[in-house]
Amino acid sequence: MSAFVAQPDDARVAWLRAHVAGLADGLDTGSTLDPDEPGQMRHIGADLWVPTSMAAFNLPVESASGLVIESITVAYALDADDFAVSHLAFGAVDDGHDPAGIDGLALRQVPVERLKRRVIGKWILRDRGPEPEDGGPRWESWHGVGQPRASRRGASRLDLIYTARVYCAARYGEGDAHEAVARAFSISKATAGRWIAKARDEGFMEGLEPDRA
């Protein structure tokens, strides 16, 4: 498992930005981002990966007034074959609340599972291959944006590749996977279900060669 990250490190964040295109603010990881190194990256389907330890900072908690997540770490647990929140530090927003005075009711309102999925969603990376043709970094932050449909007569091969990405990302991030595909391509949920089945039949869910369209 990758090293625990308690707070963002400027030098490491600068290194991450050089190795991940489009990396969002407020993220850090102890991972080397090397999928060939054991325990560093986890494949989640298509050509999408996440570090085995992911940190995010300063996340608001909408369900608990005055509460903010100063830092949260989500790590992959090999024995459970799943991701779990391994560290959670609370703080207060600037509205006069004292985080030390937050009672058990407020803490029970913290949506830990939703926060976990939010962190994973921020950390989903697309593998562009060790040496992308454009000379850019290997990793690209996946923001779940759908590709405009390549064909208006059913799903083209390109549509199915993007369907696999959107579906696999949504399974680990926030939201319903079928709904995410429908929204990304402006199609009905029933049509999205058929596209997902076709993408699975083509083997796109299991994996894609790096830097596919």
Q: Residue 148, by phi and psi: left (phi above 0), alpha (psi -120 to 50) or beta?
A: beta
Burial of 94 (0-12, 13-18, 19+ CB in 10 A): exposed
Q: Would residue 7 be called left, alpha or beta, if left means φ above 0 and alpha means ψ between -120 and 50 degrees?
A: beta
- Asked whether residue 151 carries a pLDDT value surpassing 80, the answer given is no
Mean pLDDT of 87-111: 65
Mean pLDDT of the 34-63 span:
92
Look at residues 125, 105, 132, 110 and name the one whose alpha carbon lies nearest to residue 47.
Answer: 125
Q: Where are the domains of the chain?
A: 10-127, 144-201
> How many Å apart are CA 123 and CA 56, to the nearest integer?
9
Give the pLDDT of residue 45.
Answer: 95
From 28-37, 113-122, 126-135, 136-145, the region with the lowest mean pLDDT = 136-145
Distance, CA of 76 to CA of 125 (rounded, Å): 16
pLDDT in tens, 20-33: 999 999 999 989 99
Residue 145: the pLDDT is: 58
**Span 42-60, average pLDDT:** 94
What is the arithmetic mean of pLDDT over 55-84? Answer: 86
Contact 57, 7 (CB under 8 A): yes
* Rounded mean pLDDT, 80-85: 93
What is the percent of the chain with per-residue pLDDT over 70, rounded to a whole number? 80
So what's the pLDDT on residue 59? 86
**Poorest-pLDDT segment among 82-86, 99-103, 106-110, 178-182:** 99-103
**pLDDT value at 100 more than 50:** no
